[in-house]
């Protein structure tokens, strides 16, 4: 069960990161280097959220 809580905490941290970089991308000109960095970090956070979401769903199914 503590692993589930750790995974949920990681998911929340990545979700917060995703929101942060989504906002930064929205505020930054698309032709800038900063935008490219923010976009890459946003994509990485999205991948991590997606991966952890699948893990959490699998845990929920296994616990049923």
Q: Write out pLDDT tens, residues 34-51.
A: 999 999 999 999 999 999
Host domain of residue 47: 39-64
Judge contact between 25 and 41, C-beta under 8 A: no
Please count the other Cβ atoms lying within 10 Å of the Cβ belonging to residue 52.
19
Tally of domains within the chain:
1
Residue 60 reports pLDDT greater than 60: yes
- Domain membership of residue 28 (yes or no) is no
pTM: 0.85
Task: Annotate the chain with DSSP letters as a single string.
Answer: -HHHHHHHHHHHHHHHHHHHHHHHHHHS-TTSHHHHHHHHHHHHHHHHHHHHHHHHHHHHHHH-
CA atoms of 40 and 26, how far apart (whole Å): 14
- Domain membership of residue 24 (yes or no) is no
């Amino acid at each position: 069960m503590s692993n589930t809580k750790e995974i949920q905490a990681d998911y929340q941290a990545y979700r917060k990161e995703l929101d942060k970089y989504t906002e930064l991308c929205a505020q930054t000109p698309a032709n800038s280097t900063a935008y490219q960095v923010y976009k890459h970090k946003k994509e990485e956070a999205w991948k991590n959220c997606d991966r952890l979401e699948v893990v959490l769903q699998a845990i929920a199914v296994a616990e049923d």
